[in-house]
Amino acid sequence: MKIYVASSWRNTYYPDVVKALRDAGHEVYDFRNPPTGGNGFHWYDVDERWMEWSPEEYRDHLSHPLAERQFANDIEAMRSCQGCVLLLPCGRSAHTEAGWFAGNGKPVFLYIPERQEPELMYKLFHSVCCSIDELLLAIRQWEEDR
């Protein structure tokens, strides 16, 4: 299965989850190592004062060539992947990506490796997994059902 892992740059579980999925035979899109090279997209590469932007500056910087390139990488990967692992904790972009997958009829496997604030709408997703073993089993079961 080709899998998109939606998470945060700050998520310390991310490298291990990508590795475990690959070790299980899955093809995984790694936003930290995009196909166009480099080490992924960072707003500070667009402007070092990115945290001080006004809403208008934020909107305008969405058209910056670096932002456009990474968006193209991510959306192409999303379209080509069969499913998504939403790895908590994460932020708005990862949740937007997971929502896109769910809205397009592709399974979202939520992985919660540590205590989080409960969220009712995670019921929209295919499964809620609390260990890497549960995650791999849920993906395998989904594949077998196809």
Could you read off the pLDDT tens digit of each residue along the chain, which spans 146 residues? 999 999 999 999 999 999 999 999 999 999 898 777 777 888 999 999 999 999 999 999 999 999 998 899 899 999 999 999 999 999 999 999 999 999 999 999 999 999 999 999 999 999 999 999 999 999 999 999 98
Residue 144, judged by CB atoms within 10 A of its CB (0-12, 13-18, 19+), counts as exposed
DSSP 15-84: HHHHHHHHHTT-EEE-TTS-TTSTT---HHHH-TTGGG--HHHHHHHTTSHHHHHHHHHHHHHHHH-SEE
* pLDDT, position 39: 77
* pLDDT, position 112: 98
* pLDDT, position 33: 87
